[in-house]
Amino acid sequence: MISSDTIRGYNDTFLLSLLSEGDSYGYALSKEIKDRTDGKYSIKETTLYSAFTRLKKNGFIEAYPGDETQGRKRTYYRITKDGIHYLKEKQKEWEITKIVVDQLVGGKKGEYYKRLHRANL
């Protein structure tokens, strides 16, 4: 199980990405994250709702009440234009981050080969 701290700051992006596929609410988004990662990552409730608060404050999402006739009333969320813009920025950032971290964490086959070669010089 990946810890949330490992991918700190990307929870907002995960939520925006899911909301970019359609409006949803807390519990459904939480389940979706767990399902899509095959249970390898899940967002904590407190993290989830504090993320909603932050995203609202930043104008990246809008909340509206659901019209459930049964069950407890849900709060639905809709991504805004600013949210879509932010999402795209973070998607680009992630692509760069992957490359940067790959170069620094090491541990890849190719890297070992190069190091071995260098050591033998």
Partner DNA sequence: CTAAGTACAACGACAGACGTAGTAAAGATA
Partner DNA sequence: TATCTTTACTACGTCTGTCGTTGTACTTAG
Does residue 46 touch a second copy according to CB under 8 A?
A: no
**Terminal C-alpha separation, the chain:** 41
Does residue 67 touch DNA according to CB under 7 A?
A: no
- HSE, side-chain direction, 13 A CA sphere, residue 52: 20
Does residue 83 touch DNA according to CB under 7 A?
A: no
Does residue 43 touch DNA according to CB under 7 A?
A: yes
- Say if CB 35 and CB 27 are below 8 A apart: no
- Say if CB 105 and CB 113 are below 8 A apart: no
As a whole number of angstroms, the distance between CA 94 and CA 52 comes to: 21
Does residue 45 touch DNA according to CB under 7 A?
A: yes
Name the site residues for a second copy (rule: CB under 8 A): 2, 5-10, 13-14, 17-18, 20-21, 33, 36-38, 40-41, 87-88, 90-94, 96-107, 113, 115-117, 121
Name the site residues for DNA (rule: CB under 7 A): 3-5, 7-12, 25-28, 43-47, 49-52, 54, 70-75
